[in-house]
């Protein structure tokens, strides 16, 4: 059940300023990949609105602009993958955001019948469970069926630019991690 506030109100918010303010929230960068129904090709869309939603059942969410091809494709029941880019994959982020360069090599890997990008930091194979309308976007909730995580440092997006962690993350043995974050949320 969706709980919404009453009807549309005229907004005093400037769209460009709003976008600029949202950019202060640093995110990772993903590419949502899928094969459109009845089309003999794989497609991807760069997405930074990827969010974890639920652990049990395992649910994630991406917010897709209504005008995008991916929003049209990811109807309920549709399989797709979320590929988390690592710091060396900014060209792929640009490629799937609509700025392809001829020299960018895209290496596809089909797992569980779903196209993935090879060599990403992590990937989540999903099937669309619900689609919620939200302004000029659609919120696509995906049920995760399989995932892989390689631990490579992430590509980041902050204030309109691609970034990377200044200090490389050294994987810690579980016993040396002082705070058990999964317990906190
Ligand atoms: C870093 C970055 C993050 C993006 N995140 C999103 C997003 O979360 N949702 C969205 O709809 N578009 C997002 N975009 C824009 C889409 O990648 C772009 O509009 C793309 O061309 C849509 O492709 P499609 O029409 O084939 O789905 C993002 C672009 C960049 C560069």
Residue 8 domain-assigned (yes or no): no
Residue 49 domain-assigned (yes or no): yes
Expressed as residue numbers, the domain containing 73 is: 27-160
Residue 167 domain-assigned (yes or no): no
Residue 185 domain-assigned (yes or no): no
Give distance in angstroms: CA of 34 to centre of ligand 1: 14
Would you say 48 and 29 are in contact if contact means Cβ atoms under 8 Å apart? yes
Question: Tens place of pLDDT for every residue, the chain, 185 residues?
Answer: 778 776 666 679 999 999 999 999 999 999 999 999 999 999 999 999 999 999 999 999 999 999 999 999 999 999 999 999 999 999 999 999 999 999 999 999 999 999 999 999 999 999 999 999 999 999 999 999 999 998 789 999 999 999 999 876 666 555 444 455 555 54
State the closest ligand 1 atom to the C-alpha of 62, by its place in the atom list counted from 1.
Answer: 8
Tell me which residue has its CA closest to atom 26 in ligand 1. 69
The number of domains in the chain is: 1
* DSSP symbol at 99: -
Residue 20 domain-assigned (yes or no): no
pLDDT at residue 7, rounded to an integer? 67
Can you give the CATH number for the domain in which 98 is found?
A: 2.30.110.10
Q: Which strand ranges, in their side-by-side order, compose the sheet holding 137-149?
A: 43-47, 30-34, 79-84, 122-134, 137-149, 59-65, 51-54
Candidates 42, 43, 47: which one to mutate for ligand 1, based on the most atoms within 8 Å of Cβ?
47
Would you say 92 and 36 are in contact if contact means Cβ atoms under 8 Å apart? no
pLDDT at residue 98, rounded to an integer? 97
Give which of 43, 53, 41, 101 is closest to 74, Cα–Cα.
43
Residue 54 domain-assigned (yes or no): yes
pTM for this model (two decimals): 0.91
pLDDT at residue 177, rounded to an integer? 46
């Amino acid at each position: 059940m969706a709980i919404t506030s009453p009807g549309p109100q005229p907004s005093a918010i400037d769209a460009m300023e709003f976008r600029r303010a949202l950019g202060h929230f640093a995110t990772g960068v993903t590419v949502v990949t899928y094969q459109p129904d009845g089309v003999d090709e794989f497609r991807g869309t760069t997405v930074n609105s990827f969010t974890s939603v639920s652990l049990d059942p395992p649910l994630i969410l991406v917010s897709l602009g209504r005008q995008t091809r991916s929003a049209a494709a990811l109807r309920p029941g549709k399989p797709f993958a979320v590929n988390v880019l690592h710091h060396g994959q900014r060209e792929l982020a640009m490629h799937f955001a609509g700025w392809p360069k001829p020299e960018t090599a895209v290496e596809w890997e089909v797992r569980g019948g779903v196209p993935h990008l090879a060599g990403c930091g992590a990937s989540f194979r999903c099937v669309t469970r619900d689609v919620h309308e939200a302004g000029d976007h659609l919120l696509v909730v995906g049920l995760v069926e399989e995932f892989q995580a390689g631990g490579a440092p992430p590509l980041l997006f902050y204030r309109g630019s691609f970034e990377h962690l200044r200090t490389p993350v050294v994987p810690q043995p579980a016993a040396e991690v002082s705070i058990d974050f999964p317990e906190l949320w």
